[in-house]
Structure 1
Amino acid sequence: MRRSCRVKNRQKRGLITNGSDIRQVESIGDLEELTEVEELDEIASSLSPHLDISDLNTSSMLAHTVLPCAVIDETLHVRWANPAFFSFFTDSSPGVGLGKLLSPTLSAEAATLLLAELRSKELHYSTKKGLYLPSKLKLPVELNLLFSPVRKKESKEVPEFWIMMVDDVTHEHRTLLRGTFLSLLEASKLKDNDTGYHIKRVGEYARLLATSMGDDSAFSEQVTPGFIDDIYFLAPMHDVGKIGTPDDILNKEGPLDAREWIIMKEHTINGAYILNSYPNIMAKQIALHHHERWDGNGYPYSLAGDMIPLAARIVTVCDVYDALRMKRSYKDPIPHETSCSIILQGAGTQFDPAIIAHFKKLRDRFAEVHDHFDDEFS
Structure 2
Amino acid sequence: MNAPGPVVRPTILIVDDTPENLTLLTELLKLPYRVKAARNGEKALQIASSDEPPDLILLDVMMPGMSGFEVCRRLREQPGTRHIPVIFITSQGATDDEVRGLELGAVDYLTKPINPPTVLMRVDNQLRIKAANDFLRDQNEFLEQEVQRRTREVAAIQDVTILAMASLAETRDNETGNHIRRTQHYVSALAEHLQRHPRFAAELDEETRHLLFKSAPLHDIGKVGIPDHILLKPGRLTVEEFELMKTHTTLGLEALQTAEERLGMDVPFLRLAKQIAYGHHEKWDGSGYPQGLAGDAIPLAARLMAVADVYDALISRRVYKAGMPHEGAVEFIRSQRGMHFDPDVVDAFITLQDEFRGIAERFCDRDSDLAGRT
Same fold (TM over 0.5): yes
* Equivalent position of 2:347 in the other structure: 357
- Structure 1 residue corresponding to 2:356, chosen from 366, 369, 373: 366
Quickly say closer, same or farther: Cα 1:213–1:56, change in 2 above 3 A.
farther
* Equivalent position of 1:175 in the other structure: 156
Amino acid at match of 2:201: S
- The percent of aligned pairs where both chains have the same amino acid is 36
Quickly say closer, same or farther: Cα 1:343–1:38, change in 2 above 3 A.
farther
* Equivalent position of 1:342 in the other structure: 332
**1:162-209 deviation per Cα after TM superposition (whole angstroms, max 9, x unaligned):** xxxx94453233223232232222221221134331111101111111
* Equivalent position of 1:309 in the other structure: 299
Q: Aligned with 2:135: secondary structure?
A: coil
* Equivalent position of 2:6 in the other structure: none
**Aligned runs of 1:263-282 on 2, under 5 Å?**
263-276=244-257, 277=259, 279-280=267-268, 281-282=271-272
Q: Aligned with 1:241: secondary structure?
A: helix
Quickly say closer, same or farther: Cα 1:54–1:200, change in 2 above 3 A.
same
Q: 232-241 or 348-357: which moved more?
A: 232-241
Quickly say closer, same or farther: Cα 1:56–1:222, change in 2 above 3 A.
farther
* Equivalent position of 2:221 in the other structure: 240
Contact 1:57 1:63 in 2 (8 A): no
**1:283-305 deviation per Cα after TM superposition (whole angstroms, max 9, x unaligned):** 11110000000111100000111
**RMSD across aligned positions (CA):** 3.0
Distance 1:200 1:253 in 2: 23
Quickly say closer, same or farther: Cα 1:56–1:285, change in 2 above 3 A.
farther
* Equivalent position of 1:291 in the other structure: 281
Moved over 6 A (4+): none
Amino acid at match of 1:55: I
TM-superposed CA distance for 1:373, in Å, is 1.7
Greater gyration radius: 2
* Equivalent position of 1:185 in the other structure: 166
Distance 2:217 2:272 in 1: 12
Q: Aligned with 2:364: secondary structure?
A: coil
Contact 2:187 2:308 in 1 (8 A): yes
More helix by share: 2
* Equivalent position of 2:199 in the other structure: 218
Quickly say closer, same or farther: Cα 1:189–1:38, change in 2 above 3 A.
farther
- The reply to whether residue 61 of structure 1 matches residue 135 of structure 2 is yes
Amino acid at match of 1:178: D
Distance 2:231 2:327 in 1: 28
Amino acid at match of 1:182: L
Distance 2:169 2:188 in 1: 22
Q: How does the TM-score come out when normalised to structure 2?
A: 0.59
Q: Aligned with 1:331: secondary structure?
A: coil
TM-superposed CA distance for 1:226, in Å, is 1.5
**1:206-255 deviation per Cα after TM superposition (whole angstroms, max 9, x unaligned):** 11111111122331211112222221222122111000000000111222
Q: How does the TM-score come out when normalised to structure 1?
A: 0.58
Quickly say closer, same or farther: Cα 1:219–1:38, change in 2 above 3 A.
farther
